[in-house]
Chains A and B, each alone.
Chain A
Amino acid sequence: MNSSDTVKINSRLTKRRHFKRNTAPALAMAGPVTFWMLFFVLLPLLYVIFISFMSRDLYGGIAFEFTTENYTNMLKPVYLNVIWQSIKLAFFTTLICLLIGYPFAYYIARKPSKVAAKLLMLIMIPFWTNSLVRLYSLGLLAAPKGFINIVLQKLGLISEPLQMLHTNGIVVVGLLISMLPFAVLPLYASIEKLDKSYLEASSDLGARPAVTFWKVTVPLTLPGIVASIILVFIPSLGMYYVPETLGGGKIMLIGNLIRNQFLVTRNWPFGASLSILLILITLFMLWFYTRVARLDELEVF
């Protein structure tokens, strides 16, 4: 064997090793998710993008003629208003879920792991029934002849039934109990790993609990906060059924707008373009969020 052969074999060997060292594990770990996203998400998305540039035919089918009308159409104030309302609601939902979810997740995360798992399961169990049934039950609870009113009346605290159903209050409760796990689960996963010694160090250096919370706890659990904001905010953008069932239904959010396009008006191209818009809004917000909050290093995105 001459030396050039050896070099060749060596380089092949090196290549193989390099493959083994970097490519193989990367393929094994990131491969499935990459395939899944490409095949089951991006491929269908391509179709959605495609039809978003088509137009509706007379009977609600897709007419294969290129148009950008769907995109210009959504700039009408009606639709912008719908989008704005949706963002507002999502923001609001995220805020309460976080405010209530964080202390709750913290409480759970500080328990021994076995207890914590049980407590977590306790929040999840109610979600293993149908969400709609739960919302209706909440409605029954808050109804004029519902349990709460009857008890309050029996106690003599009120004479007339309280109007709870179809108010903003009940919508807030509904949103909260629908989205809370989305906030709590990522927070739990993140808070659980918070090392107590950092809290001790902070307290040792004279920081009151509130200061420790803002300066140490929050920054160190930021990845969990970010994840929970993402997991609450984004689905909330498209969520319309809580205000619809509990709030009296006089509401139009981007979620039911898109639904209407696909199911009622059968204007799929417009619905598709609205969906694309929703995705773009999300990506923009994430981008904005990472840039402004300087979260790039968090490895959360």
Chain B
Amino acid sequence: MPKHKRERKKRIGQRIATGFALLIYLFIYAPIAVMIVFSFNDQETNYFWNGFTLRWYEKLFYDSSIVEYLWVSLIIAVSATILSVIIGTLGAVGLVRFEFKLKKLVNQSLYIPIVIPEIVLGISLLILFDFIKLPLGFIAIILAHVTFCVPFVIIIMRGRLAGLDLSVEEASMDLGANRMTTFFRITLPMLLPGIISGAFMSFTLSIDDVIISNFVAGPYSTTLPVKILSLVKTGLSPEVNALATIMILVMLFGILANSIVQAVLRKRASTVIKSYF
């Protein structure tokens, strides 16, 4: 029992905050829990709980193309995220820092991919790719995803950049670091929380996209969400849940592996790196 009023108040405040956060997580995770539970449902279509089965996983296990869809989705999402974060981060800094003729136009055009319905963006990108003879498929999907991820990254980044004290950039250049070095060693670390947010956002948008992917996809570039949505149309089968569950597990596994690798690397490195994972 804490002794003092302020401390007690603080504790109570913290409990409320933690409780609130837990509630939010509960809200977000409840559907996921249901999704996972129903992936074991013994029913052709998910209506209610009808008993436990593993047959949906068995079915997917024998379907070799699942691995392919997963790979395609992940590679696309990761590439689109990396590209968007690079273009977006550079762009956000550039748009805040420099004055140039097209700046206003670019600034306003950022909102277009966010506001325009996916259908319209999908169709117009398809027409563009057709026009420039870019073969549909992998590359096209990545380009399309980058197109709608970049604005999100930039808007998040600008929220981060605004009012951020970047006088340390001057200090860096003063110490002989050129702009590039300054950007990588000073600006970037200070923007890191924005970059992380932007990356999460891009990855999420990309991994969840169906409509635009569908328009610019080619024969060998079916992503998992496209496959899932196509399945949904012929019945809400637990197989869909199983697929989505596998998808999330694979990604969780990836994160876990990544953090283990990083932990090992960090142990080896002598200097302390501010790591976010």
Which residues of A pack against B, CB within 8 Å?
Answer: 22, 25-26, 28-34, 36-38, 40-45, 47-48, 100, 103-104, 107-108, 113-114, 116-138, 140-141, 143, 145-147, 173, 176-177, 180-182, 185-190, 192-193, 220, 223-224, 226-228, 230-231, 234-235, 237-238, 255, 258-259, 262-263, 271-272, 275, 278-279, 282-283, 286, 298-301
Q: Give the interface centre of A145, A189, A193 by most chain B CB atoms within 10 Å.
A: A189
CB distance from B66 to the nearest CB of A (A): 14
**Complex-state Cα separation, A122 to B29, whole angstroms:** 9
Q: How large is the interface on B (under 10, 10 to 19, 20 to 34, 35 or more residues)?
A: 35 or more
CB distance from A84 to the nearest CB of B (A): 17
**Complex-state Cα separation, A262 to B112, whole angstroms:** 18
Q: Contact at B161–A133, with CB atoms within 8 Å?
A: no
Whether A117 touches B156, Cβ cut-off 8 Å, given contacts A45-B124, A181-B201, is no
Q: Give the interface centre of A34, A43, A133 by most chain B CB atoms within 10 Å.
A: A133
CB-defined A-B contacts under 8 Å, sample of 15 = A22-B98, A29-B91, A30-B95, A33-B88, A40-B128, A41-B113, A103-B20, A108-B21, A123-B25, A127-B204, A134-B32, A137-B35, A186-B160, A189-B194, A237-B115
Cβ-neighbour of B120 out of A129, A275, A282 (below 8 A): A275
Q: Contact at A282–B111, with CB atoms within 8 Å?
A: yes
Q: Contact at B200–A44, with CB atoms within 8 Å?
A: no
8 more A-B residue pairs beyond the given contacts A25-B179, A299-B158, with a C-beta to C-beta distance below 8 A: A22-B98, A186-B155, A193-B193, A220-B163, A262-B119, A275-B117, A279-B115, A299-B96
B143 — which chain A residues lie within 8 A by C-beta? 40
- Interface 1/0 per residue, B100-118 and A, CB below 8 Å: 1011011111111111111
Q: Give the interface centre of B100, B107, B146, B200 by most chain A CB atoms within 10 Å.
A: B200
A137 — which chain B residues lie within 8 A by C-beta? 31-32, 34-35, 38, 241
B20 — which chain A residues lie within 8 A by C-beta? 103-104, 107
Q: At the interface, is chain B mostly helix, strand, loop or mixed?
A: helix
Q: Give the interface centre of A26, A113, A128 by most chain B CB atoms within 10 Å.
A: A128
Q: Contact at A283–B27, with CB atoms within 8 Å?
A: no
B241 — which chain A residues lie within 8 A by C-beta? 133, 137
Q: Within residues 240 to 266 of chain B, which ones have a CB less than 8 A from any CB in chain A?
A: 240-241, 244-245, 247-248, 251-252, 255
Closest B residue to A193 by beta carbon equals B164
Whether A180 touches B204, Cβ cut-off 8 Å, given contacts A132-B228, A223-B163, is no
The 10 closest A-B pairs by CB, nearest first: A33-B91, A29-B94, A30-B94, A227-B159, A44-B124, A223-B162, A26-B98, A185-B197, A189-B194, A117-B276
**Complex-state Cα separation, A187 to B90, whole angstroms:** 20
B232 adjacent to chain A (CB < 8 Å): yes
Q: Contact at B106–A37, with CB atoms within 8 Å?
A: yes
**Complex-state Cα separation, A185 to B197, whole angstroms:** 5
